[in-house]
Amino acid sequence: MATATMTATLFDDDVCPVCQTDRYLNPQMKLKVGPCFHKMCDNCIDRLFAHGPAPCPTCRQTLRRAAFSEQTFEDLTVEKEVRIRKQMATKFNKRREDFKTLKDYNDYLETVEDLTFKLVNEIDVETTKAAIDKFAAENRDLIRINADRLLNETRLATQLAEKQRQLKQMKREEYLRQLQAEEEAKSEDRKNLIQELATSDKSAKTILDSRKQAISLKKTSMRKTEVKPSSSSSSSFGTPLLSDSYWRMQRDDDMDRHHDDEDEMGVEGAGAFDPVQSQYMDVDLGVGYVNSVNNNKAHAGGLVYPLLTSSIGVKDLYVEPAGIGSLNAMSKAGGYRLAFGYERAIQDAHTALFEAAL
Amino acid sequence: MASIRNHAEQHNADIYRDYKKDKKVGEGAYAVVYVGRQLSTKKVVAIKKIKIGQFKDGLDMSAIREVKTLQELRHPNVIELMEVYFHKTNLNLVLEFLESDLEMIIKDKSIVFMPGDVKHWMLMTLRGLDHCHRNWILHRDMKPNNLLLGRDGQLKLADFGLARDFGDRNRQLTAQVVTRWYRAPELLFGAREYGYGVDIWAIGCIFAELLLRNPYLPGNTDMDQLDTMFRALGTPTEADWPGMESLPNYIKFKQYPKTPLRLLFTAAGADTLELLESMLIYDPNRRISAREALLHPYFFNKPRPTPLENLPKHVRETPEAAKLKRKAEALDAYDLTSEDGKRLARRLDFTGMS
């Protein structure tokens, strides 16, 4: 809230240097900054770059619309430096372990700083840019490797953060549940007490005394039971998440339930997920064949190879004829099946029957 | 006649001119692999140059097999053979270029596998293999090294140098296929007639390797391979695998008991183990098929396969890091039994103190 009002006041006296519009005339005006670090309102950008690249009205440098972006910092020099540093970081991404000694690494950082300083302050821009390009060309492979590395690291970090978040949420839910259970037990207790006081013929004092004793007993036993689950949960959830992660993901049903929402964006959408990917089937098999194989998905749980089922009537007729085709124990033990041959012959006969003419 | 020949030569020359080899990336027994470019499209490709001259019977068998099978297979999870051309006496296969493989990822211990990652890799492997089997082709060299990964995360089956068609009764197949650690028991017993089970067994070993981050059944010799296998999965009996004793190279082994997979794969879920177990069934007739595996509940259960773009990528080592690592390994290998080592060990031995 505070930041929003602050930026509003900061930019109150904004004036577009091109069309001289200010916030008083156009409250929706947005000032954007181009690569040459000259401001312009979005109307002017739309107008000037409607027909592709055009020169900047201030410095005549050729710009295009996509290069403009909203200003993050009020001070343009800061904005400029941040942008330049961002660009530099994509190329100069070497790490400590890429150097033999600390000194080499520091020297490298020093040169990067020098180059950045020159760019920011526009000293020898041409030679600096040439030096940067030369570095980028020389270290192309390394730059890509480090970019990949960064990708893997951020991936791991987000995964860990996600796990921590889930863990926290689970703990919170557990706590809330306990709280509620306690509350319920208390009210139940009170009800019972009133009931007893109303109906029993013992004196009120003895009833209350026995209550107090029961409560103190309960408390100690509660404390005992509480200790147990917390220690066991710390052993399975409190440990660093790296090595054990696999175990937890696979076994813990609770975890899976938390996962549901993100998981929906799995490989190809949760609903339409088809491990077999039948769209590739008509590449090599006839249309009629595709249908019969697809129907076999109903067999998912069964143990027969879908191609070898009786859907085409092969297995039933041919597998155990006594004479010519029977297999000896050796072939059988090797995993050969007569059905392979018959199935293949039939498939070969059908191939291209349903292909469109060339 | 002559004009047809000229036409073919012209076509071959056109293709040849369109490709440029940039850098040698690998060399095998019968081929050299280069990374190159298609000049007309700027596409990066792998060019496999097959050495011909040295074979007196013409082209090497595996080259013929590779061309023959890859021409028939088109699938997102099978490497694409883009062109074939001759240059001088060499045959050149132009293949898709993929920069890493599953073995690199498994060995890169800086990467943590999520269950969804393993699931997606298995899914892609099985999809590609199912496509081969549906077209009656056995891959016969399934191993992490031959499962290539593209920059987009897509996994593709590669190296069809041992592949051949199956199902025809009158032809015997050779049992000397598949890298030893991934070789199925029927092959180790010398079966000459077999089916898709040999590829499924290999996938089972790859699956286990993805879960363990270590080779599952690393045998040193063929005999040791059987021993390792039986130790891990129990020695099969004639009841487990009918006809086993009739296989050509059958040898009676010590009876090891079957230990439940759960003991080794403590981290895996029930559906994962169920699928793994059905891939590692001794009797090839009862072993799961690629299609059945794809329809196994494992692939439908949570967690869902990780989306392609989020799969971990292999980070190639920088030359400096590789050098440092080699140095560290040299230190690790410092032999404690050598003269120096012994002296060191004695100096640090505190057992004599009371």
Helical spans, DSSP H, in A200-328: 204-233, 241-251, 253-263, 287-295, 314-318
List, in order, residues 6 or more apart from A348 with CB less than 8 Å away: none
Nearest CA distance, B193 vs chain A (angstrom): 5
> Do A45 and A128 fall into the same domain?
no
Surface of B (23-62) touching A: CB under 8 A: none
pLDDT tens, residue by residue, B276-313: 999 999 999 999 999 999 999 999 888 889 888 888 88
> Do B92 and B109 fall into the same domain?
no
pLDDT at A319 over 80: no
- The answer to the question of residue A351 being in a domain is no
Beta-carbon separation of A341 and B168 below 8 A:
yes
pLDDT tens, residue by residue, B95-134: 999 988 999 999 888 888 888 999 999 999 999 999 999 8
B-chain CB neighbours of A141 within 8 Å are 316
- Cis (ω within 30 of 0) for the bond into B303? yes
Q: What is the DSSP string of B286-325?
A: TSPPHHHHHTSHHHHSSSPPPPGGGS--PPPPPHHHHHHH
What pLDDT was estimated at residue A2? 44
pLDDT tens, residue by residue, A320-351: 444 445 667 788 888 888 888 888 888 888 77
Residue range A120-124: average pLDDT? 86
Confirm if A270 and B304 have CB atoms less than 8 A apart. yes
> Do B70 and B128 fall into the same domain?
no
Surface of B (128-167) touching A: CB under 8 A: 130-131, 134-136, 166-167
As a residue count, chain B comes to 354
Residue range A237-263: average pLDDT? 39
Residue range A278-283: average pLDDT? 43
- Higher-confidence position of B46 and B27: B46
Q: Name which of B193, B299, B305 is nearest A336 (Cβ-Cβ).
A: B193
> Do A65 and A89 fall into the same domain?
no
Q: How far apart are CA A49 and CA A260, in angstroms?
A: 45
Confirm if B82 and B98 have CB atoms less than 8 A apart. no
Last residue of a domain, one of A185, A205, A233: A185
What pLDDT was estimated at residue A187? 93
Last residue of a domain, one of A49, A71, A93: A71
Beta-carbon separation of B242 and A332 below 8 A:
yes
> Do B265 and B347 fall into the same domain?
no
Number of domains chain B is built from:
3
What pLDDT was estimated at residue B130? 93
Strand duo A39-41 + B81-87: pairing: unpaired
Nearest CA distance, A25 vs chain B (angstrom): 47
State whether residue A103 sits within 8 Å of chain B by CB.
no
- The answer to the question of residue B241 being in a domain is yes
- The answer to the question of residue B7 being in a domain is no
Beta-carbon separation of A275 and B186 below 8 A:
no
Q: B270: annotated binding-site residue? A: no
What pLDDT was estimated at residue B344? 46
> Do A79 and A181 fall into the same domain?
yes
Q: How far apart are CA B312 and CA A168, in angstroms?
A: 26
Beta-carbon separation of B295 and A297 below 8 A:
yes
Residue A29 — φ and ψ, nearest 5°?
Answer: -60, 135
Residue range A115-131: average pLDDT? 88
Nearest CA distance, B14 vs chain A (angstrom): 25
- The answer to the question of residue B293 being in a domain is yes
Residue range A162-176: average pLDDT? 91
Strands (E), chain B: 19-27, 31-38, 43-50, 81-87, 90-96, 100-101, 137-138, 147-149, 155-157, 164-165
State whether residue A148 sits within 8 Å of chain B by CB.
yes
Confirm if B144 and B101 have CB atoms less than 8 A apart. yes
pLDDT at B74 over 60: yes
Residue range B42-52: average pLDDT? 86
pLDDT at A288 over 50: no
What pLDDT was estimated at residue B319? 60
- The answer to the question of residue A273 being in a domain is no
Q: Which residue has the tokens 């369109």?
A: B18
- The answer to the question of residue B205 being in a domain is yes
Cβ-defined contacts of A231-238 (< 8 Å, 24+): A237/A167, A237/A170
- Percent over 70 (pLDDT), chain B: 86
State whether residue A98 sits within 8 Å of chain B by CB.
yes
- Percent over 70 (pLDDT), chain A: 65
pLDDT at A3 over 50: no
Q: How far apart are CA B183 and CA B200, in angstroms?
A: 10
CATH classification at residue A46: 3.30.40.10
pLDDT at A227 over 60: no
pLDDT tens, residue by residue, B224-278: 999 999 999 999 998 989 888 899 889 888 899 988 888 888 888 899 999 999 9
Q: Give the pLDDT band (50/70/90) at residue B138.
A: very high
- The answer to the question of residue B296 being in a domain is yes
Q: What residues of B act catalytically?
A: 141
- The answer to the question of residue A233 being in a domain is no
pLDDT at A106 over 60: yes
> Do A130 and A34 fall into the same domain?
no
What pLDDT was estimated at residue A148? 86
pTM (2 d.p.): 0.60
State whether residue B104 sits within 8 Å of chain A by CB.
no
Beta-carbon separation of A249 and B169 below 8 A:
no
Number of domains chain A is built from:
2
What pLDDT was estimated at residue A237? 35
What pLDDT was estimated at residue A356? 57
Beta-carbon separation of A152 and B307 below 8 A:
no
Last residue of a domain, one of A71, A88, A118: A71
> Do B127 and B241 fall into the same domain?
yes
pLDDT tens, residue by residue, B206-217: 999 999 999 999
What pLDDT was estimated at residue A330? 80
Domain that holds residue B161: 100-310
Task: Look up residue A93 and give its two tokens.
Answer: 């991404």
List, in order, residues 6 or more apart from A332 with CB less than 8 Å away: B242, B243, B285
pLDDT at A223 over 70: no
Q: How far apart are CA B153 and CA A148, in angstroms?
A: 13
- Across all residues in chain A, what is the average pLDDT? 71
> Do B305 and B334 fall into the same domain?
no
- The answer to the question of residue A191 being in a domain is no
Beta-carbon separation of B294 and A275 below 8 A:
yes
State whether residue A249 sits within 8 Å of chain B by CB.
yes
Strand duo B19-27 + B31-38: pairing: antiparallel
Chain A interface test: which of B237, B302, B311, B313 (most A C-beta within 10 Å) = B302
> Do B217 and B248 fall into the same domain?
yes
Domain that holds residue A88: 75-185
What pLDDT was estimated at residue B331? 56
DSSP A335: B
Q: Name which of A246, A270, A336 is nearest B304 (Cβ-Cβ).
A: A270
Confirm if B259 and B232 have CB atoms less than 8 A apart. yes
- The answer to the question of residue A101 being in a domain is yes
- The answer to the question of residue B113 being in a domain is yes
Last residue of a domain, one of B37, B63, B97: B97
> Do A174 and A88 fall into the same domain?
yes
- The answer to the question of residue B2 being in a domain is no
> Do B186 and B301 fall into the same domain?
yes
Using only C-alpha atoms, what is the Rg of chain B?
24
- Percent over 90 (pLDDT), chain A: 10
- The answer to the question of residue A165 being in a domain is yes
Q: How far apart are CA B342 and CA A264, in angstroms?
A: 60
Residue range A80-88: average pLDDT? 88
Closest by alpha carbon to A291, among A219, A354, A336, A225?
A: A354
> Do B123 and B68 fall into the same domain?
no
> Do A85 and A160 fall into the same domain?
yes
- Higher-confidence position of B57 and A113: A113
pLDDT at B46 over 70: yes
Chain A interface test: which of B23, B117, B318, B320 (most A C-beta within 10 Å) = B318
Lowest pLDDT segment from B51-60, B160-169, B232-241: B51-60
Residue range B305-327: average pLDDT? 74
List, in order, residues 6 or more apart from B210 with CB less than 8 Å away: B102, B106, B113, B118, B121, B122
Q: b/e for B54-90, b at 16 or more Cβ within 10 A? A: eeeeeebebbebbbebbeebebebbbebbbbbeeeee
